[in-house]
Amino acid sequence: MTPQPALKDHPTKPATAQNAEPWFVLGAGSMGCLWSVAMTQHLESVLAQPVTLLLRDDNAVNFYPGKVTVEHSSGTTDRSVELTLPAMSVNDTSHGAFKIKRLLVACKAQDADAALASVAAMLDEQAIIVLLQNGLKFQQQLSLARPPGTVFCLSTSFGAWQREPFHVVAAGGGESWLGHLREESSPILQRSQLQLLSELPDVAMNIRIDDDMQRRLWEKLAVNCAINGLTVIYNCRNGELLTRPAAREHCQRLCTEISTLMHGIALAPDMPELWQRVQQVAQATALNVSSTLQDVRRGKHTEIEHLNGYLIELADRHRLLCPLNQQVVAAVLESGRPL
Ligand code: NAP
């Protein structure tokens, strides 16, 4: 990706959803469906067609039932929201001069670059792109490649899983954080961010702005690197990493290696307390099956190369050793291989 020139500053419009642009959601899986519904409900009073799904090809569009369903369950009450949403293929050439000005990328990290390339012709040069991926590598690359004020990241503890295509179950909630990875902030960046916040479902998804998104994504990456791969190696739920002695000892050693790597990697925050943080997360999510183990069980490509794989890349660049992370990546890739 080639770095782009900076955006010209524009006259200020107040940050309000009244100025919202239509959104396009690339990747209509668990998160894409969850966010599309929340975004539509947030913007339907100001836009006739707030959200359009971008599907990978005409086949996917033909298969699309025309609606997205999200099941919510909280305690004893269950409710289901079903919305009719338009969908189009990324290959649709009937759009003519139309340009996308708002894009939410909801693919897995390993698919995001190719998916984004497939809509490049439809993207306005100054389109605002919001990235939902776990990991950090793709976010960093895209933030450098596009003009300042156009790439933002969302880190969320809201989860979802697919009951069937375009029908998802919202699995737990919490908070979402919006921010950018540019080292320098500027009035234009802050204005874009506030405008974005007004267009996103800030109440439903409990979104707040984080002025240090780099740190937030790093901390989530470190925790994911310490938990996800090991749940594949031990074929266990998150909580069992603490209750099975061999897994616990392995997890603690992996945390030590990740903390040491972070200390040596330029731009990574120090995280000497990683093992404590990982124990809290594993306890709080004790019954969860990590996304990496879910992918392995379903025979899907995991995000491991964007988790521990990314740490290994950075370690190599800094001439640091990381045998435990290498072992985790190798084991996960091996589990995903057909027998
Ligand atoms: P997912 O259910 O696998 O959805 C990804 C979607 O992207 C799939 O529908 C996939 O279509 C589509 N896609 C892939 N390549 C595409 C392309 N070139 N063009 C159009 N669509 C394409 O994944 P997810 O669970 O929503 O996760 C998305 C991201 O959010 C991941 O980085 C994940 O780590 C992060 N996240 C997930 C959760 C969660 O609870 N699910 C929570 C926090 C963060 P196909 O099915 O046709 O491949």
Residue 131 Cα to ligand 1 middle (Å):
11
What's residue 31's pLDDT?
97
Confidence band, pLDDT 50/70/90 cuts, at residue 2: very low
Encode pLDDT of 286-334 as tens digits.
999 999 999 999 999 999 999 999 999 999 999 999 999 999 999 999 9
What's residue 247's pLDDT?
98
Residue 93 Cα to ligand 1 middle (Å):
24
Q: Is the CB of 285 under 6 A from ligand 1?
A: no
pTM of the model as a whole: 0.93
Q: Mean per-residue pLDDT for 127-134?
A: 96
* CA–CA distance, 296 with 337 (Å, rounded to integer): 9
Q: Is the CB of 26 under 6 A from ligand 1?
A: yes
Q: Mean per-residue pLDDT for 211-230?
A: 97
Parse the chain into domains and list their residue ranges: 7-210, 215-335
Place of tokens 């389109």: 127
Confidence band, pLDDT 50/70/90 cuts, at residue 76: low
Question: In a mutational test of the pocket of ligand 1, which residue from 24, 61, 107 has the highest number of ligand atoms less than 8 Å from its CB?
Answer: 107
Encode pLDDT of 184-204 as tens digits.
778 888 888 999 999 999 999
Mapped onto helix, strand or coil, the DSSP state of residue 26 is strand
Q: Which CATH number fits domain 7-210: 3.40.50.720, 1.10.3720.10, 3.20.20.70, 3.50.50.60?
A: 3.40.50.720
Average pLDDT, the chain: 91
The set of residues, in sequence order, having a beta carbon less than 8 Å from that of 78 and lying 6+ positions away, is 71, 72
Q: Do domains 7-210 and 215-335 have the same CATH topology?
A: no
Q: Mean per-residue pLDDT for 204-208?
A: 96
Q: Which residue minimizes the CA distance to atom 8 of ligand 1?
A: 29
Which ligand 1 atom sits nearest the alpha carbon of residue 33?
26
Fold that domain 215-335 belongs to in CATH: N-(1-d-carboxylethyl)-l-norvaline Dehydrogenase; domain 2 (1.10.1040)
Residue 132 Cα to ligand 1 middle (Å):
9
Q: Is the CB of 156 under 6 A from ligand 1?
A: yes
Res 240 pLDDT > 50: yes
Report H helices in the chain. 30-43, 58-63, 109-118, 137-145, 187-199, 213-233, 240-243, 245-264, 274-284, 291-297, 308-317, 323-335
Residues acting as catalytic residues: 220
